[in-house]
Amino acid sequence: MFDATNFQPLLARRYTLEVRQQMAWYWQALVIALALLVGLLISAAILVVAGVPAGELLNEFVILTLFDAQSLRAVLFQAAPLIMVGLAGCVAFRARFWNLGLEGQMIWGAIGATAISLFEIGPPSMRLPLMLLSAVVCGLIWALAPVLLKLHLKVNEIISTLMLNYIALNFLLHLVYGDWKDPRDNFPYSPQYRVFERLPDVFDGLSLAIVLATLVAFLVLWFTNVSRAGLYLRFVDNSPGVARAVGVPVNRVILGTVLLSGALAGLAGFMITAGQEGRLTHSFYVGYGFSGILIAFLARNQPIAATVVALLVATLFVAGRSLQVFYQIPFSMVQLIQAILVICVASSEFFIRHRIRRIQGGQS
């Protein structure tokens, strides 16, 4: 009798791959948690090979960063721009737009904010809001070209946003090594912002940036889950053809969403320059573009989840900096850990969607 299994390789004869009907959410959560654990174990192994004593790892990552008030403040401080880029990733991916230009948009946001400070536009009391506004507008403008090119000419946005990153980066270098260089010394950064141009602490060392970030997170939540545009966006994501047929302004929704993503990235640039550095530097953006994509991916484009993931990534950033200081581990370790986590979690999807089952019965 004809038996299809005879034509399959040896292993497949007794084991088969099936598509699962559905997996309960708690099993899904368990699989993802296991994937994260595997990723962290691999990362820990790499760190040990790189020369960090195994016993110090737990100390460095968990105890020192989360149970120490000073480090916790550093994590929150670090989280604000990461929440912004994470949200920027979330909204762009909801519109099925691969916005890899987060770094370029951040750079323009920071340039926009610094321009207001440098040319002393507006009275001191209005300076910070003006800088914020300028950053948002600059980030948004830098996202305009790729989305228009994608909508009208179908130009691949992965390439176009990345190329615009390199252009923005070179423009930043042109400024900080050129006209905008602090005349007082020879380093590639702009003059220090004045006191009223920096994000103040609201209480006990907690920066205004994190308050602002939380506020924006709720606004984005409103945008994705409550607003009409958010509803359209889910419609477009599920079925662009049907959405177009029933009269959803698909192109305008995508355009608006991507511009919002650029604006959020610009805001992240503002938060770093006005909140952390206090000036425009030549490398402030390093690591944020990928982190934004990672946060959005791990949070499955959910704004609240993105905020939580951003806090974890901020922990990683802070721990990475102390590893750099104490063990001379380069900061690219942080990026490597992030990439390993993405690979592990993306692979876990396979186990959520499929199951490997042993075929019963006497076929062998």
Partner 1 sequence: MSLIASWIGNIPDFAVPFALAALGLIIIERSGVLALGAEGLMLVGAMSGIGASLMTDGSTVAALIMAMIAAAVVSQLFALMVLIMRINQVIAGLALVFFCQGLTGLCGTLMNWTSRPVSGLSDLSLWPLSELPVLGKLFIQDPVVYLTPIIFLLVVLVLNRTVLGLRLRAVGENPQAADAAGIPVLAYRCAAIAAGSALIGLAGAYISVLSTKMWLADMVGGRGWIAVALVIFARWSPWKALAGAVLFGCIEALIPQMAASGIRLPQYFVFMTPYAVTLGVMIWVAVASRDNSSQPGALGEPFIREERR
Of 32-40, 77-85, 171-179, 263-271, which segment contacts partner 1 by CB under 8 A? 171-179
Question: Is 347 among the residues that bind partner 1 (CB under 8 A)?
Answer: yes
Q: Which residues contact 120 (CB under 8 A, 6 or more apart)?
A: none
Dist. CA 237–CA 230, nearest whole Å:
10
Q: Does 156 bind partner 1 (CB under 8 A)?
A: yes
CB of 297 to partner 1, least distance (A): 7
DSSP SS3 for 154: coil
Torsion over CA: 267, 273, 278, 279 (sign): negative
Site size with partner 1, rule: CB under 8 A: 50
Whether the CB-CB separation of 357 and 13 falls below 8 Å is answered with no
| 3-class DSSP assignment, residue 202 | strand
* Residue 15 bridge partners (DSSP): 358
Query: Cβ of residue 214: shortest distance to partner 1, in angstroms?
Result: 28
**Interface pick for partner 1 out of 171, 188, 211, 302 (rule CB under 8 A):** 171
Task: Tell me how far, at minimum, the Cβ of 310 lies from partner 1, in Å.
Answer: 17
State which of residues 31, 40, 42, 50 lies at the interface with partner 1 (CB under 8 A).
50
- Return the residue of 135, 213, 267, 293 that touches partner 1, per CB under 8 A: 293
List the x/- string, 101-140, binding to partner 1 by CB under 8 A.
----------------------------------------
Find the binder of partner 1 among 15, 166, 218, 326 (CB under 8 A).
166
Residue from 106, 164, 260, 313 that binds partner 1 (CB under 8 A)?
A: 164
Of 89, 297, 298, 307, the one binding partner 1 (CB under 8 A) is 297
358 DSSP β-pair partners: 15
Q: How many Å apart are CA 98 and CA 143, to the nearest integer?
A: 11
CA-wise closest residue to 84 among 272, 315, 334, 363: 272
- Residue 190: name the closest of 206, 202, 174 by CA: 174
Residue type, 54: A
H/E stretch holding 19: strand 15-19
In angstroms, the CA 343 to CA 348 distance is 9
Restricting to residues 249-288, which ones interact with partner 1 according to CB under 8 A?
Answer: none
Chain mean position to CA 148: 23
- Is residue 16 part of the contact set for partner 1 (CB under 8 A)? yes
- Burial of 277: CB neighbours in 10 Å, binned 0-12, 13-18, 19+: middle
Which of 273, 335, 338 is CA-nearest to residue 134? Answer: 273
Kindly tell me which residue out of 71, 118, 335, 352 binds partner 1, with binding defined by CB under 8 A: 335
- Tell me the closest approach of the beta carbon of residue 51 to partner 1, in angstroms: 8
Q: Which is nearer to partner 1, 41 or 159 (CB)?
A: 159
Stretch that binds partner 1, among 54-62, 131-139, 169-177, 185-193 (CB under 8 A): 169-177
343 binds partner 1 (CB under 8 A): yes
Residues of the shown chain interacting with partner 1 in the complex, contacts defined by CB under 8 A: 16-19, 46, 50-51, 98, 100, 149, 153-156, 158-160, 162-164, 166-167, 170-171, 173-174, 177-178, 290, 293, 297, 328-340, 342-343, 346-347, 349-350
